[in-house]
Structure 1
Amino acid sequence: MSKGRGKMKKDTNIRIGTRGSALALWQANYISKSLSKLGVKSEIIIIKTLGDKLTRGVLSQNRNRGKSFFVKEIEDALLNYEIDIAVHSLKDVPPDMPDGLILAAVAKREDPSDAYISRKGNFLDHEKRKSIIGTSSPRRIAQLKHFYPEFSFMTLRGNVETRIRKMHELKLDGIVLAYAGVKRLGRKEEITKKIPISVILPAAGQGAIAVECRKKDRKVISILKELNDRRTSIAVEVERRVLTKLEGGCQVPVGVLARWRQDTLLVSAVIASLDGKEYLKEKSVMNQNNWKKKCDDLAELLLNRGGRAILKSIRK
């Protein structure tokens, strides 16, 4: 489709592009309802991404491309004017975005913590020493290995429903999922307990819904500004800057979280080796005037303390 064709006219719906999973559709419908409250009509268009088609293990073999697997086809549809906006889980969106696209809105964030679901109802401290935990996230594995070195891990991919079902079928002791996703799908009662951020720092942007559009679509941008939660937007921008400076991604064991305390941001970041034996964690306090430099300083501190060597060994 040539550039300019298919542009949104004044009297047409906003076309929302999304993945087809239950969680992705929940998020797209959330944005659609938010637009409706503004008097803006919309329609949802499902786009299958490469990440939806991957076989087990492919993500781990492509550590540097993991996140783009879940957004590229949707971003291509935006650039080709096949949709007007894209709705993503922000943690799936790489910090380096394609030319011509921007994150125009970030909805108010859900709790960014990870959650533990135990097959027998035990929390981590009460699971047996040789427990087998289901997760495909190096970030989660590395941090849990640091605190629970006796645990083993089994690669587990798929949506929330699939992972819970596989936990029972494979008789795993438990699984780790993003709290926000489980809650949004109405399965909060199945969570044994939220995992403290002192044990697992979440992925940058976890729990936040992002809305992406074309830079030139001024009308769309002006509408999406009404959906943007300013404090969430700033916090996740901080997290994504730290992640960029650490050259992290969803297939690298890096966690980062920015939390507001009145007008101050408390930022924590961690880098860990895959076996959990090397574990580096630092904190920083910043505000809206100095956050960029403070983010860079925080990342550089972690890299200089040994993080650079950890990440280099993982990427070999």
Structure 2
Amino acid sequence: MTKQPSTISTLTIATRQSPLALWQAEHIRDRLLELYPDLTIHLLKIVTKGDKILDTPLAKIGGKGLFVKELEQAMYDKTADIAVHSLKDVPMVLPKGLMLGAYCERAAPTDAFVSNNYNSLDELPNGAVVGTSSLRRQCQIKHYRPDLQIKTLRGNVGTRLSKLDAGDYDAIILATSGLQRIHLDERIKGELDIEVSLPAVGQGALAIECREGDEAVLKLLAPLNDDQARIRLIAERALNRHLEGGCQVPIAAFAVLENENENNSNSENNSNNNQTLWLRGRVGQADGSVLLKAEKRITLQGSQADKESQANQLGIDVAEQLLAKGAGEILAAIYHDNDH
């Protein structure tokens, strides 16, 4: 049955111009058009600062928030109504007046191993060069294989793959979901085991940002919310927020609903049952010499709002475990280095 938006006839989506960002925006556009066939949707394509500065590690120039600021400005200016983001790129604290209006169903959260000559991280020879732009990936891979050389790798997916093909790297690490979304599955030699590389906060999930109080837009987006993914993502983001971590820091967090119905995550029976939420978190030195780990399980009870509150507290609890083990000192040193 077609749903009818109450007052909106036209919607503008702000998006970056990379192939992956455009896929994400077009995916949300198509889902909305399935729900509201009479809605007119425009894409506002924007080049962000993060897209322009490609020769400097993200941590040195302000982190992944550089990929969303211009999109957010478009919403402030009311030239756009919503922005579609890969959630792992969204800062932990949103600007005043903006909110995440929908957490969409989560795709593969893992890191992908991509190489033309080797099938896995374990197959790489001593001293092999691995490309990544992520301190999180770097610290975990160096912890697992201290002999490997990590070189910074920036640019969109196509640019990164071309640098691999040119022989600049023996392997590169990318998000599995990103490669799958733009139909480059054949480049994935394998997914890194979560025990080796715990995912980034929100990896694999799309989120839709909008203006606070824009009830017509929120009503429009409501059917795109995935309640199960939302609970998991709230826990992960709460951990990162409590650590005062940005998007470009060596922090990993991954939450699982252990009795989640994978085939129908919003099924009525599943949402009414008590569920166990398991959150794992890690903070490490960029060189891999230290990798702190913490985890906790809780049983979720009550309404969706109750469960979201419990998930938020779980994130804080696991963050506190990491702080007790010395995470604060590690992160403070990294922030100090990035400021100089």
Structure 1 length-normalised TM: 0.94
Q: Give CA-to-partner distance per residue, 1:125-160, whole Å, 9 cap, x none.
A: 111011100112111000000000000011111111
State, as a whole percentage, how many aligned pairs show the same letter: 40
Choose from 11, 20, 23 the match for 1:23.
20
Q: Mapping of 1:34-113 within 5 angstroms?
A: 34-39=31-36, 40-57=39-56, 59-62=58-61, 65-113=62-110
Q: CA deviation at 1:170?
A: 3.2
The answer to whether the aligner puts 1:270 opposite 2:290 as a matched pair is no
Q: Is the 8 A contact 2:7 2:216 kept in 1?
A: no
Provide the secondary structure at the position in 2 that maps to 1:290.
Answer: helix
Instruction: Supply the distance in 1 between the matched residues of 2:8 and 2:161 (Cα, whole angstroms).
Output: 43
Instruction: Supply the distance in 1 between the matched residues of 2:31 and 2:40 (Cα, whole angstroms).
Output: 10
Q: Is the 8 A contact 2:130 2:170 kept in 1?
A: yes
Choose from 111, 114, 121 the match for 1:114.
111
Choose from 327, 330, 337 the match for 1:307.
327
Give the number of equivalent residue pairs: 307
Instruction: Supply the distance in 2 between the matched residues of 1:315 and 1:207 (Cα, whole angstroms).
Output: 26
Instruction: Supply the distance in 2 between the matched residues of 1:96 and 1:312 (Cα, whole angstroms).
Output: 18
Amino acid at match of 1:137: S
Q: Is the 8 A contact 2:236 2:253 kept in 1?
A: yes
Q: Mapping of 1:1-316 within 5 angstroms?
A: 10=7, 12-39=9-36, 40-57=39-56, 59-62=58-61, 65-262=62-259, 263-286=275-298, 287=300, 288=307, 290-316=310-336
Instruction: Supply the distance in 1 between the matched residues of 2:64 and 2:54 (Cα, whole angstroms).
Output: 15
Q: Give CA-to-partner distance per residue, 1:41-70, whole Å, 9 cap, x none.
A: 3111101111111131152323xx212201
Amino acid at match of 2:189: T
Provide the secondary structure at the position in 1 that maps to 2:9.
Answer: coil
Amino acid at match of 2:162: R
Q: Which residue of 2 aligns with 1:5?
A: none
Instruction: Supply the distance in 2 between the matched residues of 1:11 and 1:301 (Cα, whole angstroms).
Output: 46
Q: Give CA-to-partner distance per residue, 1:9-48, whole Å, 9 cap, x none.
A: 9463210111010000000011001100111331111011
Identify which range, 17-26 or 244-253, moves more after superposition: 244-253
Instruction: Supply the distance in 1 between the matched residues of 2:113 and 2:201 (Cα, whole angstroms).
Output: 19
Structure 1 residues 37 and 140: CA distance shift in structure 2, 3 A: same
Structure 1 residues 11 and 197: CA distance shift in structure 2, 3 A: closer
Q: Is the 8 A contact 1:139 1:250 kept in 2?
A: no
Amino acid at match of 2:106: R
Structure 2 residue runs of 5 or longer lacking an equivalent are 260-274, 301-306
Provide the secondary structure at the position in 2 that maps to 1:243.
Answer: helix
Aligned structure 1 segments of 4 or more residues deviating by more than 4 angstroms: none
Amino acid at match of 2:52: K
Provide the secondary structure at the position in 2 that maps to 1:213.
Answer: strand
Instruction: Supply the distance in 1 between the matched residues of 2:311 and 2:224 (Cα, whole angstroms).
Output: 24
Amino acid at match of 1:276: G
Amino acid at match of 2:18: S
Q: CA deviation at 1:122?
A: 2.3
Structure 1 residue runs of 5 or longer lacking an equivalent are 1-7
Provide the secondary structure at the position in 2 that maps to 1:199.
Answer: coil
Instruction: Supply the distance in 1 between the matched residues of 2:110 and 2:57 (Cα, whole angstroms).
Output: 26
Amino acid at match of 1:283: E
Q: Is the 8 A contact 1:22 1:185 kept in 2?
A: yes
Q: Give CA-to-partner distance per residue, 1:159-184, whole Å, 9 cap, x none.
A: 11111110121341100000000000
Instruction: Supply the distance in 2 between the matched residues of 1:290 and 1:172 (Cα, whole angstroms).
Output: 43
Identify which range, 134-143 or 293-302, moves more after superposition: 293-302
